A = this chain, B = another copy of it.
């Protein structure tokens, strides 16, 4: 069994990114819009800020009250779209229910959409065109690449159909010649499907959903879940009982979570490159 160590992939990505940033003649700008201020949003924004500052980005977090008017959010996004000092824009999710999150996200210029959540970027991804891709999906692909895991021709089962992981993973992997099955909360007989997978990617946020009897011997497991059970971090996979039968697995922590934020900040550079082409 080989552990897919996210820290190693993170290090490589950071080295690559810093090399690229060193060659630029200006600092890149990332603006986060945070609406309301739940504890978890505060934590996630802090993580991004910390790494952004380490990379020398101009980081700005605009905090809005959770009763902000949708039109005011849209106007703010318009301003940021037009601001040439802002390379990447990100809305910290979730946002309050009184706002139409799809409408708000789609207002972001597709070339500044560093979370890869606009419909345009989702469409360009499934059409196999150059675009910005959600960080977690990129991170998983970079883990495969770092450990020379070839996805072409493999049967890959994804559990979870989120816009951030499941759907973009489906698009990338189908376009990379994998045979992909997308499972979700309405899937019947989940184990009969997961147990056929050469590679199993799980991103649902249900602790230890995937047990030993649900995985094939020698399969590869990517666990993108982050859950807290009894004060301890764990993934969507019952790691301790699965680890002995798989060929590769990402641990939680120190797996996928290690690369997600780096990919997001790498996306600011990719957004800069996309905008330069115009």
Contacts and interface: CB of A to CB of B under 8 A. Distances in A.
Interface in A13-29: none
Interface in A108-125: 118-125
A127 B163 contact: yes
Contacts of A119: 120, 123-124, 127, 129
Interface stretch (A30-38, A173-181, A208-216): A173-181
Per DSSP, chain A at the interface is mixed
A41 interface: no
A182 interface: yes
B179 A179 contact: no
Interface residues of A, number: 34
A80 to B, nearest CB: 21
A183 B196 CA distance: 14
A184 interface: yes
A107 interface: no
Nearest to A177: B186
Given A123-B124, A127-B122, A184 B188 contact: no
A96 interface: no
Interface in A91-118: 102, 118
Interface in A155-170: 155, 161, 163, 167, 170
Contact of A120 (B123, B125, B163, B174): B123
Contacts of A163: 127
24 contacts: A102-B129, A118-B123, A119-B127, A119-B129, A120-B123, A121-B123, A122-B123, A123-B123, A123-B124, A123-B125, A126-B167, A127-B163, A153-B187, A155-B188, A161-B174, A167-B174, A170-B182, A174-B182, A177-B184, A177-B186, A179-B184, A179-B186, A180-B182, A181-B182
Interface of A: 102, 118-127, 129, 152-153, 155, 161, 163, 167, 170-171, 174, 177, 179-184, 186-188, 192-193, 196
